[in-house]
Amino acid sequence: MAEEAAVSEAAFSLQSITITDEAKDDYQYEEVSADDEISLHEDDEDLSKALQNVQEQTENARVLALQSVLTSKKSVSETPQAMDDFFCNFLVRLGMSRTLDCFQTEWYELIERGLLTVEAAGLVPDVYTRNQQLEAENVSLKKDLENYKHSVNKKEEALLKMQRERDFHRMHHNRVVQEKNRLISDMKRLKAHYASYEPVLKQLSEKYQNSLTQKMLTSLERDKAMGQVTGLQAALESLESGYNKQIPETKGHDCTRKKGFEGPTQKALREARQQKFHVVASSSCGPDDDAEKKKSRRDLKDSEFPVDAEGIPYLEQAKEHTQPLKSGQYQLSSILKVHDFAVSCLAVHPQKKIVLSGGDDRLWKTWGFPDGNILLTGEGHTDWLSGCCFRPSGTQLVTSSGDTTVRIWDLSRRGCILTLRGHSRAVRGCSWHSCGDFVASASTDGTSKIWDVNSERCRYTLRGHEDSVNSIEFLPFSSTVLTSSADKTLSLWDVRTGLRVYTFQGHVHSCNHATFNKKGDTIASCDSSGVMKLWDMRKLLPVVSIDAGPHPANQVSFHRSGGLVALASSEGSVKVLCLAVGQLSILRGPGVEVRCVRFHSQDYLLSAGADGRVCIWTWAQ
């Protein structure tokens, strides 16, 4: 007992240490945030974070173990537990209260009697205390192990779940790639299939266009043959009855074919043309062809200007179309892509449902109305087309261009038969006289010219405007022509003398276009500020002025009834003025600049713009 007490006294000692207030200033405390949490939420955990958490906790355990070792080596050592305290604590932990009472009673009795002292009882050996500490650490480590196992199990489940999702997305990606490859192969196969049909479709389209052209030409030839048959029948009847009656050769507004309008010059010209056609038809391809053509051309003489008729021919036919329209408005029915570039002019065939258009692509095209099937395409101009017009008989047409030329085209021959040169600058417009023997042209060089189609030369040059002449038009069945100019004026000219008859003044900006109504008693004009004016031909005064600006107005057109006037505006709309009520309605189409406008028959309106498309508007009640 004495040896054990000596060992215990040598191992442990109790020391008293006083802590002063100055010690508080020697240690710097760090503030720990209350929101600082080591663990993550369950939804935000992943495998990498779990492994990092495990490593951090392991590191913390090592630090705590190191701190426990360091604290055991301090100068202040823990006091070993006395034997009686050890037994009391042991009995309390086991809950043996009666045994504890007996032990304490007997322990203190022995001490009071002197039979036992505290020093003789000794202290509890270190092995027991160390075992208790190790047991507590073992329990704590077991709990940590269970927590780690639980966390690892959760991470394994999450890993398996992500692996399954990865496999699913990988399989879906492979399926999408296979579908993409299949679609690419199908597209290549369809392209190859379409390419094999494209030449056939192109060939069929060409055949279709050729058939339409042949159909139109056949129709023209049929009408011509019918006219000749009718003329021959009339000649036969006149021969049988003993009258010398003139044979009409063509249909339409050809006033020179009438006996009352035909003089000696016209008769000589007609005989020369018949002789020319006879020579061309009877001669073969040889070196004498050019000589025969030159000889027949020298035989041609100038045409005589027709005398102004007191009344307008075909007035009864005109009255049929001057009935006022019923109440309603125009609605957009279809849009046709005719040209690749801007469309600058439109013309309507006098007898058939055919429309002529010219554009900035240097081409003119005839197409069926309203389906838009291209019938003929003419090329030969070297610059943009500015104007176009059908011959009153419908067999020929005239075009004007920025290349300073005017060309006459024959529909049956499908080519240019005459090129008129004489202007020094771009030609802005052209018009064909109702008799079919004269063509008028207006140019930016400030002049207008009257061309004789038969003698193929310029008869008169109309000078008087101080700036570009933007439009020109014949008054139907007369020798009067109307011009509009950039010098803000309109002029009436007598083509028989080449002199100006009257000048209309009233516009404050450049006049872009002017036209007559079907009766010939009213003129409509428009200028670059969008102002449209109506002029009375009998009083030679303005009667209506409409400001449709501020955008420029490019062209005006009368309805055949005379009750509607259409205006092509640069703002991308067509404006229609009803003269009966004075109402101006606005028709909006694709929204591009409208270059030209033209009425077709009784219920249709055509407008063409800078995008190469033609809009067809239908009158709806």
Q: Which helix (H) or strand (E) holds 429?
A: strand 427-432
Closest CA to 385 of 416, 415, 361: 361
Residue spans of alpha helices (H) in 242-326: 264-282, 289-298, 315-320
Backbone angles phi and psi of 125, in degrees to 5: -65, 155
CA 238, 244, 248, 254 torsion-angle sign? negative
Output the 3-class SS for 123-173.
Answer: ECCHHHHHHHHHHHHHHHHHHHHHHHHHHHHHHHHHHHHHHHHHHHHHHHH
Q: What is the mean pLDDT of each run of 10 residues along the chain (621 residues)?
A: 42 48 47 46 60 81 67 49 77 86 86 78 72 86 92 93 93 94 93 87 85 79 80 79 45 37 49 49 41 50 71 51 68 92 93 93 92 90 94 93 94 89 94 92 94 91 93 91 94 92 92 92 93 92 89 93 92 91 89 92 91 92 73
Closest CA to 397 of 410, 387, 385, 386: 410
One-letter amino acid at 382 equals T
Q: Give the pairing of strands 438-443 and 427-432.
A: antiparallel
How far apart are alpha carbons 481 and 557 in whole angstroms? 16
Kindly calculate the radius of gyration of the chain based on its CA atoms and give it in whole angstroms: 56
Three-state DSSP at 452 gives: strand
Measure Cα distances from 203 to 60, 106, 209 in Å: 87, 130, 10
Q: For residues 347 and 390, is the Cβ–Cβ distance under 8 A?
A: yes
Bond into 392 cis (ω within 30): no
- Provide the pLDDT for residue 256: 37
∠ CA(346), CA(348), CA(351), 5° rounding? Answer: 165
Closest CA to 448 of 472, 431, 467, 424: 472
How far apart are alpha carbons 447 and 444 in whole angstroms? 7
Closest CA to 448 of 459, 456, 437: 459
- Provide the pLDDT for residue 489: 94
- Provide the pLDDT for residue 347: 95
How far apart are alpha carbons 379 and 368 in whole angstroms? 19
Q: For residues 281 and 273, is the Cβ–Cβ distance under 8 A?
A: no
CA 92 to chain centre: 95
For residues 227-266, one letter each, b for 16 or more C-beta atoms within 10 angstroms of the residue's C-beta and e for the rest, the string is beeebeeebeeeeeeeeeebebebbbbbbbbeeebbeeeb
How far apart are alpha carbons 102 and 353 in whole angstroms? 135
How far apart are alpha carbons 5 and 431 in whole angstroms? 143
- Provide the pLDDT for residue 69: 54
Q: Which helix (H) or strand (E) holds 408?
A: strand 405-410
Q: For residues 510 and 470, is the Cβ–Cβ distance under 8 A?
A: yes
How far apart are alpha carbons 490 and 502 in whole angstroms? 8
For the entire predicted model, the pTM comes to: 0.56
The region, left, alpha or beta by phi > 0 then psi within -120 to 50, assigned to residue 252 is left
How far apart are alpha carbons 450 and 438 in whole angstroms? 7
Q: In the Cβ-directed half-sphere of 226, how many Cα atoms lie within 13 Å?
A: 8
Q: Which residues pair with 420 in a beta bridge?
A: 406
- Provide the pLDDT for residue 322: 53
How far apart are alpha carbons 238 and 490 in whole angstroms? 48
> Which structure tokens are listed for 138?
């073992």
